[in-house]
Amino acid sequence: MNNRTFTMIKPDATRNGHTGGILEMINKAGFRIVAMKMTHLSAQKAGEFYAVHKERPFYGELVQFMSSGPITAAILEKDNAVEDFRKLIGATNPAEAAEGTIRKKYATSIGENAVHGSDSNDNALIEGDFFFSKLEQF
């Protein structure tokens, strides 16, 4: 399956009141929301979600940040969803993000970069199932 991806609106964007603006950009780019919830990750859950980065120097900071406030988690549907959504969010570092991308508009730093986007079809499925039961995926 290559038509679904997973996203989170991160705690910085939630705090700064950008949830509505980001969802509008997502919809305008042609993604359909097929699951969505607002939640607050514990440090343990944030650590599990980003376990692939466990050995990286920024892991502790990342876990602390991702558990610092509420997020909005969502599964998005569109042809070529994973790749197209990575294009829509832009580079990890907002200083390198292209014009018109979500991170260019809303991210404040490489750590606090407004949104998450899955990096592969396999991870999109794993990440969607991390937050949503099959009954909550439409």
Segment 103 to 122, residues that bind ligand ATP, using CB under 6 A:
110-111, 113, 116-117, 119
* Partner interacting with residue 117 (select from Mg ion, ligand ATP, none; CB below 5-8 Å by kind): ligand ATP
What's the DSSP call for residue 135?
A: G
d(CA 90, CA 88): 6
Half-sphere exposure of 61 (CA within 13 A, CB side): 7
Using CA atoms, how far residue 105 sits from 48, 64, 79, in Å, is 28, 23, 24
d(CA 101, CA 41): 25
With a CB cutoff of 8 Å and minimum separation 6, the contacts of 64 are 43
Catalytic residue selected from 18, 40, 53, 116: 116
Q: Which is nearer to ligand ATP, 7 or 134 (CB)?
A: 7
Task: Tell me the closest approach of the beta carbon of residue 135 to ligand ATP, in angstroms.
Answer: 26
Q: Which is nearer to ligand ATP, 27 or 108 (CB)?
A: 108
d(CA 82, CA 3): 7
* Partner interacting with residue 70 (select from Mg ion, ligand ATP, none; CB below 5-8 Å by kind): none
Instruction: Answer yes or no: 116 catalytic.
Output: yes
* Partner interacting with residue 64 (select from Mg ion, ligand ATP, none; CB below 5-8 Å by kind): none
Active site residue ranges: 116
Contacts with ligand ATP by CB under 6 A lie at: 53, 58, 61-62, 92, 110-111, 113, 116-117, 119
